[in-house]
Structure 1
């Protein structure tokens, strides 16, 4: 197994350079030194002079940046800001791009006069495309390496973002969100494998395309889309017992079953190797991944809904209100890699994280219809504190238990399951929200009148806020209590899911990881070599290679 490079190990490069006038400046001041003649020597020949020893002293740090280990480097050889962009910065930027929409989504739904169904579609259109595209990105990375994926995924994300920016109606923004999801699937996959030490060989385009399991990809994507469309339509666009919903769900499951047979018996280089699921350890880890993603995404989408619908906050303040969750999550997530590297253990992080996550999301049930800041802050801190470790630790647990030839496929399977569960979470959360709110409508109608109740039922979030603000205080309290009750029942649903994940995590066996670092190679030759090794091991001709992990 490939060693994971911990993001906490990266250090920002603060190179010092001595100018001809004796002044010492840091790398980020070089640009101003070049522009200001008083800071730089006017003799250009000196700026381009560099000894052969200094040239050999410049070593690549593995992520495209150049680390200076010799002093006195000339100004003309200073790396650009783009070259100096480290792994931590890439992860921060890409993660922000993939999650920035959640706090603005309620107001966007209001702008396009979307109902609960429209709100759900604005979220799930991204998730659907994202989940369907992840296996393809994983297979492409096996052949051509991760750098090309990052560039191609960013282009797709840019095109989708441009369409969303120019959208004039709901269908147009849904198309843009779907294209964003395709690009986001590649970006999220690259984030998962970014810290792996991977060597990519140059693979011809035609040979690479021929090696891709296109049948498996089409079946997996088709089955996933049909199943998730069935969940999305159920209870919103069509009744749950309608032929459309039943056929989509059933055909989706059947297509998935056919895809698994193809991956098992037909595909030479399967997108999702079935052998990953023959080990109970892997199954338990993937179940934990499913539960964690299912519940985490609910906080990203429904906490802003609470702030904007119940507390009547605007999108900017809604983003401020979720900071306790974001900051605690970021802190524990950053510490997780460091702890795993130093201790070689992951089980304790998974179990502990899910315990605090269960506690935190359980406490969200107690949120009030008014701004109780101790509850809002403390509950989010606990939920975020638990969420952070469960991003990295289960992936390490999975990679520690699979053949290194399956690293990319295993990682894409992990990412695919995470995105699929997120899409299901948004759909099912909306179903719970709608059903409970529908039960509260008679109470709301009795308090504010049928006409205003109908206006609330036909609008969403921001539009609801305008209607609620115009109500007298006693009527407003009735409405806010009804929405708070509705959201509390939704938090009960999510707490049950993460509680199940906590129970599953207790069955994961503890393994002390090796600290040996190895390199994983990609490309067709490496895929074939790994395939032969796995086949030989399955025939009993050789033993599978020992686990090589962080």
Structure 2
């Protein structure tokens, strides 16, 4: 075993794989060996042919969720023209983000209880229903509510796919497989705004309807063909294992905290009664969640002992920070290119491709390097260092900065992003115990999305509010309607 590649701090990678795989014989939770808090091992190793098929299917689902998250940005003007309430259109994107963030930890724990594929299908069903209803929305309020439903399902799809991959792929090969899967999200984020604009020119409702047929196909395929081991406990036992109070408090805390974080400074003032009330309620729900998870829940949605592990805590925190930076860069770099450098929307998109394409290539390279050598610490340290260098050099961007310099810095940043994105996921799944692997994945994803919300809120208040006040003070009233000069994705997420 000494010749096998090792994971830093975790021993031989092959030994961990054997522990993950376990006994392939399903055991009932209702047997004498299991208590009401026992969870079944759902690990299974598939033949390569079946593995390729299921990976392709899961990649399609990942692509759809990422596409639906960002494609709406270029359709916002058409949507607000038909439905009205232009001041509320930013919440079309925010509702999806909040729903996705709120669902991820819940879906991972419920997938431990009910099985991966059933919860994956629930996610697809909610995503399909929400997207379908978005296309039929008659008012802005309906559209925002339906986007929340689609986001809740999309978040479930995202984390279920990641956990399913950890069940069917050995730890040694997980790096390269997760890397390939991750490219679906990056590619979707890159092309979705452009395709969304194409659909919006015909009918904005097709932005939502276009994902329904492939989502329905994925649901039907999963219904008739799913290779994972089922959880064979009785339904009564499964229902009894759900942490209902913790689930409610977790979802409520995320919603009540992210709404003011996303809207304060644009939809309402930070010191307004509405913002303070939402924040206070969110904090109370979060405190209640900690109490329930720490003292009462038999199978908590988020086991607090995860945060006693220093390595996991550092990875969660780093994911929060990189999420804050990544979302801010993707949404606000186009605004800089267009408003400061007077670039066209097309030129801004092409400049951003330097970041996205580098990230795609580097994710794949990092995955294969991780599989070859089995050590994630060197990749993480290197990636974060390059990340910081790129971020620091980006502060030198000015109106007169050459395009060659900008592209070079974006390539550096893309390298750091790609080198750490999937590597951090594999590291978390390697460190967490088998029982905690799914929920650790959910916490990691939630941290990334919450970090993104904080990053966008900070950027919005730093860039948006001072600009607004200085413009009001110096410009004539007729010059203040500048929405047509802003990139659509910034208009969508300015409330964040």
Residue 275 of structure 2: aligned partner: 245
> How far does the alpha carbon of each residue in 1:339-387 deviate from its partner, in whole angstroms, 9 at most, with x for none?
2222221122112212222232333334444794323422221211111
Pick the aligned partner of 1:225 from 255, 269, 293: 255
Pick the aligned partner of 2:344 from 313, 316, 320: 313
Residue 153 of structure 1: aligned partner: 123
Residue 201 of structure 1: aligned partner: 231
Pick the aligned partner of 1:451 from 452, 470, 477: 477
Correspondence 1:187 to 2:218:
no
Correspondence 1:91 to 2:121:
no
Whether contact under 8 Å (2:264, 2:275) holds in the other structure is yes
> How far does the alpha carbon of each residue in 1:170-212 deviate from its partner, in whole angstroms, 9 at most, with x for none?
3333223212211111121023223213544234444322211
Structure 1: state its 5+ residue gaps: 6-59, 68-83, 466-482, 484-489, 491-550
Residue 349 of structure 1: aligned partner: 379
Residue 463 of structure 2: aligned partner: 433
Residue 363 of structure 1: aligned partner: 393
1:57-136 to 2 correspondences below 5 Å? 62=46, 65-66=49-50, 85-87=53-55, 90-91=58-59, 94-95=62-63, 97-99=65-67, 101-102=69-70, 105-109=73-77, 111-112=79-80, 118=88, 120-136=90-106
Residue 425 of structure 2: aligned partner: 395
Pick the aligned partner of 2:486 from 441, 457, 461: 461
Distance 2:298 2:268 in 1: 40
Pick the aligned partner of 1:328 from 336, 339, 358: 358
Give the C-alpha shift of residue 86 in structure 1. Answer: 4.7
Distance 2:413 2:60 in 1: 20
TM-score normalised by structure 1 residue count = 0.63
Distance 1:172 1:428, change over 3 A: farther
Give the C-alpha shift of residue 391 in structure 1. Answer: 1.7
Residue 544 of structure 1: aligned partner: none
Residue 263 of structure 1 aligns to a residue whose secondary structure is: helix
Structure 2: state its 5+ residue gaps: 1-9, 18-43, 169-228
Structure with bigger helix share is 2
1:266-305 to 2 correspondences below 5 Å? 266-305=296-335
Distance 1:460 1:174, change over 3 A: farther
Residue 251 of structure 1 aligns to a residue whose secondary structure is: helix
Whether contact under 8 Å (2:246, 2:293) holds in the other structure is yes
Distance 1:259 1:369 in 2: 47
TM-score normalised by structure 2 residue count = 0.70
Distance 1:359 1:172, change over 3 A: farther
Residue 540 of structure 1: aligned partner: none
Distance 2:281 2:71 in 1: 34
> How far does the alpha carbon of each residue in 1:456-494 deviate from its partner, in whole angstroms, 9 at most, with x for none?
2x66726999xxxxxxxxxxxxxxxxx9xxxxxx9xxxx
Whether contact under 8 Å (1:240, 1:246) holds in the other structure is yes
Distance 1:380 1:110 in 2: 31
Distance 1:241 1:407, change over 3 A: same
Whether contact under 8 Å (2:65, 2:158) holds in the other structure is no
Say what the alpha-carbon RMSD is for the aligned residues: 3.5
Residue 173 of structure 1: aligned partner: 143
Point out the more displaced range, 148-157 or 177-186. 148-157
Distance 1:117 1:460, change over 3 A: farther
Give the C-alpha shift of residue 63 in structure 1. Answer: 7.6
